[in-house]
Chains A and B, each alone.
Chain A
């Protein structure tokens, strides 16, 4: 019951926010210089042909009318057409969002795997080696831009050691993508039992996920550490230690108690990651939504850029909802509030 209430209230409050996002994006993107019609037709087109195309695309109308038409189409689920790929934006995003989500989910998982234990250890013993390591790590890794780390990893593991495959996309150039179920090559290949393709997809994922996880682990580390450090001084920990419970055991309890603080922080992190994979996607030629959005903005492909912003906003909301539900499950105090 609670779950439904929360979901419903979220959707209601999300409405105006989403509208705000669409409104601001539309008018902002329309300000980008660049006229798609002559770009599509090429140099030998007559001014007549260009005008005809512009009228067809509705570009000759005043902006508010164009916005109205966009909303109309949006209500029917039509995100318009991308002039660069000539596909519908829905189709384009359908192909590319799973690629980005693969990176986001796996990157976040890796970040948690790295950040959580390190943060826990650093929080539990603030003067220990773990704390020093955590300091070093967060300052060092936090200072390097993700695209540069990606380049270094490529240089080291591909060009020099030859351990990683060529950074040419999600799949080896010889492989055909598996039958589409979720859109993620790795998952779909595994579902189809095609282990060769799954292996290739997995090996292509290694470097980009490493890059993202490496960088995203820092906020996870920070929040875990501070939550744990706070809890260190709490009564139940003192009691457990006084009882003589082994430190490792106490740490487990502390972690469980810290989760309600850590999990909500993952929400904004995941949202940030959706737009934040852009540069990594570019370096690895990933074919994800971020890369799509960048090229859309640079080439004044309004529909594509708008589609991406919308998709990112909706995903963001979905993530926040999930996180809130998870928080509910983790922290009984919220339930009764």
Chain B
């Protein structure tokens, strides 16, 4: 009986996904703002991927003859103090920034959610598991008690410069966030009837988590991840700004802002402005994606009309009243 119940379950959820996706696209279509976010993100990722062919000059080879040139037709974004072309570096930077952000976010989400799920499931129950859960939570609290930026900085200082250290540092710093979210979701979901039913049927922890808890918690986690990618990019930029980021001359928006900072005073504004704009646009895109996922995961928000639709509706009501 348990087996057939499980089988029925899987059949039902197998049918659902395609319908879900189609509704999601419609949902996006009705909200142009979110579409913009997806467009921006895809645009940035595409540019980053295609940058070796799109960049007019090398992003890492210094051309000393092209020292601190102002923006012109030949050099739309000018060059910096090392003679590097700003445009080429700005479009090559997503490879670094977005990669670091995506990898570190996935790392944090996977580990954080994993830990959070088990903690949520084991908390308050008897024996060793409860103690382990409590301990895990305490450790997470300690990590969260650190100022985020300082902790990331210390980790990078310990691990040495380079992309790998930054990914690890940002990942570790964000684990408690996902841990807490997942724990909250698990605590709420584990009391539900069908979870209880699965347990009675003899399901183990891993099964319950994978089949029942994870799918329900997924939208919330994904929404957080999207926003997390944005904050990870900003954290990378911040680390590079104070000199603890990627190795020179790797193109990275924060490092570019840092090296362009001093030039602003002597009148050369372009090495700092363009990377900042590119960064803002990218983070904005991810923020919109995150907002769309958040709205999607909240049933009330999902079915809410957009402002345009609402105003159109009001207008129709007004017209109907008038004619009545």
Contact = CB atoms under 8 A, between A and B. Distances in A.
Direct contact, A vs B (beta carbon within 8 Å): yes
Contact of A297 (B150, B269, B272, B279): B150
Given A20-B142, A147-B241, A148-B279, A305 B264 contact: no
Interface stretch (B70-78, B124-132, B152-160): B152-160
Contact of B147 (A16, A145, A274): A274
A167 B242 CA distance: 17
B166 to A, nearest CB: 15
A290 B148 CA distance: 12
A105 B143 CA distance: 24
Interface stretch (B59-67, B113-121, B190-198, B283-291): B283-291
B258 to A, nearest CB: 9
Given A24-B142, A144-B276, A276 B149 contact: yes
Nearest to B158: A31
A143 B148 contact: no
A312 B264 contact: no
B139 A145 contact: no
- B interface: dominant SS: helix
Contacts of B272: 148, 151
A145 B254 contact: yes
B201 to A, nearest CB: 36
A305 B155 CA distance: 13
B107 interface: no
Given A151-B261, A279-B242, A298-B157, A143 B283 contact: yes
A312 B150 contact: yes
Contact of A139 (B141, B284, B304): B284
B154 A127 contact: no
B158 A276 contact: no
Interface residues of B, number: 47
Size bracket of the A interface: 35 or more
Nearest to B155: A28
Given A155-B269, A279-B238, A308-B150, A148 B157 contact: no
A142 B257 contact: no
B145 A32 contact: no
A131 interface: yes
A159 interface: yes
A61 interface: no
Interface in B145-187: 145-150, 153-155, 157-158, 160
B269 A21 contact: no
A135 B287 CA distance: 11
A249 interface: no
- A interface: dominant SS: helix
A294 B148 contact: no
A90 interface: no
A293 interface: yes
Contact of B264 (A21, A143, A151, A278): A151
Contacts of B153: 294, 297-298
Contact of B154 (A28, A135, A144): A28
Contacts of A154: 264
Contact of B257 (A140, A143, A147, A274): A147
A234 interface: no
Interface in B260-285: 261, 264-265, 269, 272, 276, 279-284
Residue of A148, A275, A305, A312 ringed by the most chain B CB atoms within 10 A: A148
Contacts of A298: 153, 157, 242-244
B75 to A, nearest CB: 21
A275 B287 contact: no
Contact of B146 (A126, A127, A144, A309): A309
A252 interface: no
A91 B154 CA distance: 23
Nearest to B230: A143
B96 interface: no
B137 to A, nearest CB: 11
Contact of B287 (A143, A274, A293): A143
Contact of B148 (A126, A142, A145, A276): A276
A144 B143 CA distance: 26
Residue of B158, B269, B310 ringed by the most chain A CB atoms within 10 A: B158
Interface in A1-19: 16-17
Contact of B238 (A139, A145, A159): A145
15 contacts: A24-B143, A33-B158, A126-B304, A140-B280, A145-B257, A148-B272, A151-B261, A159-B265, A275-B150, A276-B147, A293-B150, A294-B153, A294-B242, A298-B243, A312-B146
Given A294-B153, A298-B242, 16 more contacts: A17-B138, A21-B145, A24-B142, A25-B146, A31-B158, A32-B158, A143-B283, A144-B280, A145-B241, A145-B254, A145-B280, A151-B276, A290-B150, A297-B157, A298-B244, A305-B150
Interface of A: 16-17, 20-21, 24-25, 28-29, 31-33, 126-127, 131-132, 135, 139-140, 142-145, 147-148, 151-152, 154-155, 159, 272, 274-276, 278-279, 282-283, 290, 293-294, 297-298, 300, 305, 308-309, 312-313, 316
The 9 closest A-B pairs by CB, nearest first: A275-B147, A143-B284, A143-B283, A20-B142, A148-B276, A31-B158, A143-B280, A127-B310, A32-B157
